[in-house]
Structure 1
Amino acid sequence: MHDTSPRGEISRGDGGAAVVAAGRVPGRGAVTLLRVATALACLETLVQGLLAGMLLNGDVSSIDPHGVNAYVFELLVFLQVVAAVLVWRGNRRVTWPLKAAVVILAATFTQTALGLASSLAAHVTLGVALCAMETVFVVRVLTLRGPPAA
């Protein structure tokens, strides 16, 4: 069941997730891409936390994987932004994924800069916040609805 209204009204589906329809709905490919990108980015934050914990426990060999993984995470967050733009282009009223993705991207670049500057307290704090932001984002994105199956 798809819950769009031809008049652009907000309606509720079976799961209670709100969908705003404005004549067009985000394409299923864009929504799927956003879901995959956010899920992978969320998993990357957990890997980063594991590598950071290893480093803080004295395993200095984990610094290189932590640095490489940071750039993988940035790439996935950038992919989130691209997917969020595609969702937004499918329905201009669905703006929250794009706004959230841009905020997370800005926080990610800040996180990398703090890490390169060896600002450990701020780097760890923002890392925990990024993990929380990605977790909330992936949960919200999983409730986003695309068009009905043909």
Structure 2
Amino acid sequence: MTARGVNGGGALTLLRLVAALACLETLVQGLLAGMLLNGDVASIDPHGVNAYVFELLVFLQVVAAVLVWRGNRRLTWPLKAAIGILAATFTQTALGLASSLAAHVTLGVALCAMQTVLGVRAFTLRSDHPVTTPA
């Protein structure tokens, strides 16, 4: 993989920020799911609310990926990955609402892995226009 520079440092920073937050949200979801599976039924409401927070972050991740893509038409993987994660997230919510526990847990683990890969790869991109701080 080459360290090709990416135009649009602000869009790249936004993608990195949202991807990192979404990655953390998957960990929170896993914690809440584990609490629920351990019998803590009070964790179902926070798990549901956090699911919608994750959906919002993943939607913002798609927006950030579009902004990165607009400045770098050949760089398509962030947008493809973000859209794939968004589709999987909506499927995950539907499975949870349908109480399809085995599929819901399995897809949840996969979402955590997918989001982690996107986040790590976003941080491997380098900006053509690094942000400079005043002296």
Which TM-score bucket, shorter chain as reference? over 0.9
Q: 2:85 aligns with which of 91, 104, 115?
A: 104
1:19 equivalent in alignment to 2:4:
yes
Q: Give the distance between the partners of 2:92 and 2:85, measured in 1 at CA.
A: 10
Q: Does 1:144 align with 2:129?
A: no
* TM-score between both structures, scaled by the size of structure 2: 0.93
Structure 2 contact 19–119 (Cα < 8 Å) conserved = yes
Q: CA deviation at 1:42?
A: 0.1
Name which of 100, 111, 114 aligns with 2:95. Answer: 114
Which blocks of at least 5 consecutive residues in structure 1 are unaligned?
Answer: 1-15
2:44 aligns with one of 60, 63, 71: 63
Shift of 1:17: 4.5
5 Å-filtered alignment, 1:31-50, equals 31-50=12-31
Separation of aligned partners in 2, 1:55 and 1:101: 28
Which residue is 2:109 aligned to?
A: 128
**SS of residue matched to 2:126:** coil
* Equivalent residue letter for 1:84: A
**Structure 2 unaligned blocks of 5 or more:** none
Structure whose alpha-carbon radius of gyration is higher: 1
Two-structure CA RMSD over aligned residues (Å): 1.3
- Partners of 1:85 and 1:92 in 2: CA distance: 10
- The one-letter code matched in structure 2 to 1:128 is V
Alignment of 1:69-88 (within 5 A): 69-88=50-69
Task: Return the alpha-carbon distance in structure 1 between the equivalents of residues 129 and 60 of structure 2.
Answer: 24
TM-score, with structure 1 as normaliser: 0.84
Q: Return the structure number with greater relative CO, CA threshold 8 A, min gap 6.
A: 2
Write the letter of the residue equivalent to 1:136.
V
Q: Is the 8 A contact 1:17 1:144 kept in 2?
A: no
Structure having the higher helix fraction is: 2
